[in-house]
Amino acid sequence: MTDQHPFDAAIQLSNDSEGIWSGHSSPAYANMVGAFGGIVAATLLNSVMLDTRRTGTPVSQTVNFCTGLGAGPFKIETKLQRAGKYTQHWNTELSQGDTMIATSSIVMGARGETFSHQPTPAPDVAPAADIAPMSGKLPLEWINRYDYRFVNGGIESIGIPKTPLGDSQTRVWIADNPPRPLDYLSLAALADCFFLRLLQIRGTMEPMGTVTLTTHFLATEEELTAQGSAHLLGIVDSNRMHNQFHDQTMQMFGTSGKILAAGTQLVWYRQ
Amino acid sequence: MTDQHPFDAAIQLSNDSEGIWSGHSSPAYANMVGAFGGIVAATLLNSVMLDTRRTGTPVSQTVNFCTGLGAGPFKIETKLQRAGKYTQHWNTELSQGDTMIATSSIVMGARGETFSHQPTPAPDVAPAADIAPMSGKLPLEWINRYDYRFVNGGIESIGIPKTPLGDSQTRVWIADNPPRPLDYLSLAALADCFFLRLLQIRGTMEPMGTVTLTTHFLATEEELTAQGSAHLLGIVDSNRMHNQFHDQTMQMFGTSGKILAAGTQLVWYRQ
């Protein structure tokens, strides 16, 4: 037994040779099929963070989920496509045997102190400490790895169709459970923690899954360190759901009111 | 001389072998350095659209801009990473000699008629026909390939610092110039047409450029055909600008009020 956080255990990699990594999927982050997408994103980001060629800190990641990550070992192959003065462009692939599980493009950036401006204000909501955690053991194991405190748009019941359709927006305080100091790796996973808007709007659990996830890391490393293990405020919404695909936008605010990350994902649904 | 639209000439590719394509950059879409990113995005998408292995229509594209596309020929290499019942995952790379210019992940989807809902309402603005086109020959050649009609947040002057800082949002009607019937290819380019928010907010032209661009195609092919060559209404904004990187969100509405595409990009700026 060690006191390693389950997140760190799940994203752990061993280096086989330059750009080749081995890992093992973790039951602690199991999803309905395969693993939670956020842990796949964080693991792919980790393969670049650990690389000795890496310079700068993450500014952007897109993950394409080809199929679910199964139980057992996996390989990651990384390629540094271009390294310039201000950015590094990486491509990564996660596979199990001959099956491509996920691919990801990752951009590292050299950040320097300069112009700063946040057009999007922090919403005025009750602090996480004043809101009860989402209760009850949920059927998806990975959800138990997070502490959800809904400001609005929480899951009231699953399986009862909403008439009229629900509001698409959710505002929720969220943190690793057990608490873990925030870094780019956990932020990459938190970006995928929000329940799919199709469920929020319809109230029923249709077959659905994230196809691609894009996260922009807008915070410096110092800001993440200052955030520590405090809850982040996430705001998620959708622009449109049409003929089996919908988008889902996301912003995550730190307790300072600064936006630490923002992004969007595309979700497939069957009906 | 032919009457081929400059857009179609610019994205034209010849097939060398399976997954290998050749093209030539077009001066009609020249940017300050290299080519307009939107034309790079459309060209990469075209390499998948033309592939005989392709099924479905585009649902998502992320383009990572490693460096500017120079004058002259280029190569594109495509790889079908995974093909399932509902989606195809592609990775593409555009290079000139030994230089990686841009990479892109592209998802194709099989769309069927099912649940449809648009949480984000179309804004109530004056139609494109009632707004004067942006006038004057601009220093960037590619901008002349588009017709801009600003509802709000237009470029008033370049080089005069705004005090206080400008509003981050722009709403603008936009179309190919000369007109061209809309398809996924031109939509991929239109997604990158919006002026960078740093310019809008500060009023000055600092060294800056898009690092990565993600577009979700939320419309069916029939909806794009119905839109024809009419102007799209784009709404762009930014969540945060901090220490040399800012994000830029985008939604594009058709004249029907339906959202045809939405996405986000990450922009680097020097100071």
pLDDT-derived band of residue A137, with 50, 70 and 90 as boundaries? low
pLDDT digits (tens, 9 = 90+) for A17-59: 999 999 999 999 999 889 999 999 999 999 999 999 999 999 9
- Full pLDDT tens readout for chain B, 271 residues: 568 999 999 999 999 999 999 999 999 999 988 999 999 999 999 999 999 999 999 999 999 999 999 999 999 999 999 999 999 999 999 999 999 999 999 999 999 999 999 999 999 999 999 999 998 667 899 999 999 999 999 987 778 899 999 999 999 999 999 999 999 999 999 999 999 999 999 998 889 999 999 999 999 999 999 999 999 999 999 999 999 999 999 999 999 999 999 999 999 999 9
Q: What is the pLDDT of residue A214?
A: 98
B203 three-state secondary structure: coil
Contacts of B48-55 with C-beta under 8 Å, sequence gap 24+, read: B48/B78, B48/B90, B48/B92, B48/B106, B48/B108, B49/B184, B49/B185, B50/B13, B50/B15, B50/B21, B51/B19, B51/B78, B51/B80, B53/B18, B53/B80, B53/B83, B54/B88, B54/B108, B55/B83, B55/B88, B55/B108, B55/B110
Q: Is the pLDDT of residue A136 over 80?
A: no
Q: How far is B106 from chain A (nearest CA, A)?
A: 9
Which tokens go with A266? 């595309």
Q: What is the pTM of this model?
A: 0.97
Using the beta-carbon criterion (under 8 Å), do B115 and A237 form an inter-chain contact? no
Interchain proximity B107–A271, CB inside 8 Å: no
Whether residue A239 and residue B246 make contact (CB cut-off 8 A), yes or no, is: no
pLDDT above 60 for A1: no
Q: Mark yes or no for CB contact B244/A111 under 8 Å.
A: yes
| Beta carbons of B114 and A66 less than 8 Å apart | no
CB neighbour class for B197 (10 Å; exposed up to 12, middle 13-18, buried from 19) = buried
Residue type, A28: A
Nearest chain B residue to A88 by CA distance is B66
Residue A173: which pLDDT band, with cuts at 50, 70 and 90? Answer: very high
A80/B63 Cα distance (integer angstroms): 15
* Domain B6-110+127-269 architecture: Beta Barrel (2.40)
- For chain A, give the percent of residues with pLDDT over 70: 99
Provide the pLDDT for residue B137.
65
Nearest to A241 among B66, B117, B268 (CB): B117
Q: Which CATH architecture has domain A6-110+128-269?
A: Beta Barrel (2.40)
C-alpha–C-alpha distance, residues B84 and B226, integer Å: 29
Under DSSP, the state recorded for A30 is B
Chain B CB contacts of A201 below 8 Å: 117, 119
